[in-house]
Amino acid sequence: MEDLKELISNSSLKHIAMIMDGNGRWATKRGEDRSYGHKFGSERVIEIAQICSDLGIKVLSLYAFSTENWKRPEKEVISIFNLLNKFISRELDTMIEKNIKLSIMGDLSQLPLINRKAVEHALKKTSSNTGLILNIGLNYGSRAEISTAFKRLYFDVRDGKIDIEDIDEKAISKTLYTADLPDPDILIRTGGEKRVSNFMLYQIAYSEFYFIDTLWPDFDFAELSKILKDFFKRDRRFGGINANKGS
């Protein structure tokens, strides 16, 4: 942990984004209902958040529920939302104690009222925390996020608040849910699939990708350490060249 902490503090690494996939398969392998996997998956959330907080990471973004996940059987959707409230009531004290600030990306207006209230309560209670930002995607879809940003920018131009020339990459970034957050340096997807499933499409332009076979309920510090150690070996050029390597 200490060696990684030092590597991180001497680097520009600020933001890790994760697609938490594989809960269903993890449960099925054990002859259990898919909800059982989500339950174990939700327990990993606070563990990984605490690890990231201890490591000095600034932002951890997690994909908990996508705009497409409504297509799942109602029973499964209900179980995920039940887990969300359980997660908040179980972990809010830990978030406060660990100085973790909760942040949500996604359209909360479509969530059941009981979930919206719990989320709003946790957002308020952690709003002045200055440590890790735990940014959870809930009813989140990147294309919907970008479409909403386009509409907002259109209205700002129409209403004379900004000029058409003001619409640049920075203005678009500032209109997304992640307006105040740095872009992810690392995108991790557990569960073996090699796709990004409508997650932070604008923000991951220069992220380093890790697609790993481990199912989300099995993801732990050892897995994260492996990824971080590899990340520090990668040569991030952001479209430029690395002057030190001459290539």
- We find the least distance from the C-beta atom of residue 152 to ligand FPP, in angstroms, to be 27
Q: Are 118 and 92 in contact, with CB atoms under 8 Å apart?
A: no
What end-to-end distance do the CA atoms of the chain give, in Å? 33
Catalytic annotation, pick one of 3, 10, 33, 69: 69
Q: Are 146 and 176 in contact, with CB atoms under 8 Å apart?
A: yes
Binding site for ligand FPP (CB under 6 A): 20-25, 34, 38, 41-42, 45, 64, 69, 80, 83-84, 87, 136, 191
- We find the least distance from the C-beta atom of residue 66 to ligand FPP, in angstroms, to be 7
- We find the least distance from the C-beta atom of residue 102 to ligand FPP, in angstroms, to be 10
- We find the least distance from the C-beta atom of residue 69 to ligand FPP, in angstroms, to be 5
**Strand ranges (DSSP E) for 181-247?**
186-189, 208-211
134 Cβ contact partners less than 8 Å away, ≥ 6 residues apart: 49, 60, 62, 95, 100, 101, 102, 103
CA–chain centroid gap for 74, Å, is: 24
- We find the least distance from the C-beta atom of residue 195 to ligand FPP, in angstroms, to be 11
Crossing angle, helix 2-9 and helix 221-231, to 10 degrees?
40
Annotated catalytic residue 69: yes
- 20 vs 228 by CB, closer to ligand FPP: 20
Q: Are 57 and 130 in contact, with CB atoms under 8 Å apart?
A: no
Annotated catalytic residue 242: no
- 64 vs 188 by CB, closer to ligand FPP: 64
Q: Give the residue at shortest CB distance from ligand FPP.
A: 24
- 67 vs 175 by CB, closer to ligand FPP: 67
Backbone φ, ψ for residue 186 (5° rounding): -130, 135
Catalytic annotation, pick one of 21, 115, 185, 198: 21
- 77 vs 157 by CB, closer to ligand FPP: 77
Provide the H-helix boundaries in the chain. Answer: 2-9, 23-29, 34-55, 74-97, 113-125, 142-158, 169-174, 221-231
Which residues form the catalytic set? 21, 69
